[in-house]
A and B are shown apart, each in its own frame.
With several copies, the nearest count.
Chain A
Amino acid sequence: MVVRVQAEGFDAGGELNRFTAACDGAGAVVSFTGIVRNRAGAPLREMMIEHYPGMTEKAIAGIEAEAVDRWSLGRSLVIHRYGALAPGETIMMVATAARHRADAFQAAEFLMDYLKSRAPFWKKEIGRDGAEWVAARDEDEAALGRW
């Protein structure tokens, strides 16, 4: 279980390789990377991500502990950035390793669903003509219902 909350960018491919190399006995590794999308219409200048230092790490550790409890997981990794990000930059990544693929996939989806709605991050989109906080999506809250 590794959790990193950081302002700096990171190399998702390098992280995936290091994660996989450290997963002795795993047959399946799943990764998710979230990327700052540009908007149709009004171009995005940057995305500002605010978080709650202290609670963020605790919340993610709690979510990971629950994933480990529910699935047969070898290891997991969560990296999440905060601060100013440009379109195309990687916001965050999750990786899970397990003997079989079903556990790795389900744990990764579970981690993502909970990180979306239960880890204290807030996104603000900054365009040429102003800035706007990203609203939580109903379907993200609803996604928690399946676990």
Chain B
Amino acid sequence: MDVLYFAWVRERIGHPKEKVETTAATVRDLVEELRAREDRYDAAFADLSALRVAVDQELADFDADLSGVREVAFFPPMTGG
């Protein structure tokens, strides 16, 4: 699965994209796996209320199911316009 990071999440983690092998059932499970990897992941995901997630390019919530999903993205609240 591709995992993407944007804005300060990308900066804190240090790269914009990575391939992740996971059996995580939900976004929340995936976040726990990532946090266990390294401090920079742990720091980036410390406050989930400051983060948004998209699953296959659609906004989702942290309980979203990951079965069949190819792309998950993490980012702060959007500031377009």
Contacts and interface: CB of A to CB of B under 8 A. Distances in A.
A/B touching: CB–CB < 8 A: yes
Interface of A: 34, 50, 52, 54-55, 58-59, 80, 91-92, 101, 112, 115-124, 133-136, 140-141
Interface size class of B (residues with CB under 8 A): 10 to 19
Interface in B45-78: 54, 57-59, 73, 75-78
B54 A136 contact: no
Nearest to B59: A118
Contacts of A118: 59, 78, 80
A7 B8 CA distance: 20
B30 to A, nearest CB: 18
B81 A101 contact: yes
27 contacts: A34-B81, A50-B6, A50-B7, A52-B54, A58-B57, A59-B57, A80-B80, A91-B81, A115-B81, A116-B79, A116-B80, A117-B80, A118-B59, A118-B78, A119-B78, A119-B80, A120-B73, A120-B75, A120-B78, A121-B81, A122-B75, A122-B76, A133-B76, A134-B79, A136-B77, A136-B79, A140-B79
Could you tell me the dominant secondary structure of chain A's interface residues?
Answer: mixed
Given A118-B80, A122-B76, 11 more contacts: A55-B58, A55-B73, A58-B57, A59-B57, A92-B80, A101-B81, A117-B78, A118-B59, A120-B6, A121-B81, A124-B7
Nearest to B77: A136
B53 to A, nearest CB: 11
Given A116-B81, A121-B80, A124-B7, A52 B59 contact: no
